[in-house]
Amino acid sequence: MKRIGIDLLVITKKYAGAGRYGLCLVNALQKADKINKYFLFLNKDISNKIVLNNRNFTKVIISIPCNLKIFRVIYEQFFLRFTVRKYSLDVMHFISNIAPIMNKIDKDISTVLTVHDLIFIKNSSRYPVLKYLYYRIFIDKSIAIADKIITVSKTIKNDILLLRKKDIQAIYSAAGRSFEFLNLKKENWILIFSTIEPGKNIEFVIKSIKEYKIKIVVRQG
């Protein structure tokens, strides 16, 4: 039996892709794993979004302001390690590109990092200079420190391997259960849920897949 921590502090009241990834991951693990013990480090403001129905899962509530990213970044980088060490973990999973970069949480805890994209490299012009430098430094250092990396596609895996030789597993993100109940007519089309911003590459999808009808559901980025 392993003791596994998952950093869910990235999930806020208005969560996006990484937050949804974390919620779906927890729900799926509760169904799939009845052996290992999980400790979910999350903000008190979103605790009600996670319903526990597996006795091996425990919420660890962190009382920091949920709506200001700077407080989360400071806590994760400087203080999270002290909270984590109380739970004698074997593995700590960071679900959104960045882990504490000063050094590992603990020499006896394996670090797993999910990297969703490297858009800050491929489309750096979309970011202000300070934000670009933050991503460039913190994501690169997080990748270097991680013992195991999960990517959501083989493309991202190959992008990372161009930068560093790491142990990487590409695991595609499955559609959430809410999509199972869409009463959609069977035909050759692709459904895209996305924000409107350059990094989502919607224009490329439209140009590349001409034989399919494309239905797009968007929100302003």
Q: Right CATH number for 3-170 from 3.40.50.11540, 3.20.10.10, 3.40.50.2000, 3.30.450.270?
A: 3.40.50.2000
Q: How far apart are CA 26 and CA 40, in angstroms?
A: 9
pLDDT in tens, 164-210: 899 999 999 877 777 666 666 666 667 777 777 766 777 777 777 76
Domain ranges of the chain: 3-170, 183-220
Whether 221 shows a pLDDT value over 60: the answer reads: no
The DSSP result for 126-171, as a single string, is GS-HHHHHHHHHHHHHHHHH-SEEEESSHHHHHHHHHH----EEE-
Q: What is the pLDDT of residues 59-101, one digit of tens each?
A: 999 988 767 788 899 999 999 999 999 999 999 999 999 999 9
Residues in Cβ contact with 192 at an 8 Å cutoff, skipping those fewer than 6 apart? 202, 205, 214, 215, 216, 217, 218
Helix, strand, coil shares, percent, the chain, to 5? 40, 25, 35
d(CA 46, CA 11): 7
- Report, as an integer, the average pLDDT of 137-157: 94
**The pLDDT value given to residue 211:** 64
- Report the distance separating Cα 95 and Cα 93, nearest Å: 6
pLDDT at 10 over 70: yes
Q: Which two tokens stand for residue 69?
A: 């990213």
Alpha carbon separation from 109 to 45, 146, 187 (Å, rounded) = 27, 11, 48
Separation CA 197–CA 189 (nearest Å): 22
pLDDT > 90 in the chain, percent = 51
More confident residue, 106 or 136: 136
Q: Give the predicted TM-score (pTM) of the model.
A: 0.86
Q: How many other CB atoms sit within 10 Å of the CB of residue 207?
A: 8
User: Burial, 27: exposed, middle or buried (Cβ in 10 Å; 0-12, 13-18, 19+)?
Assistant: middle
Name the DSSP class of 211.
Answer: T
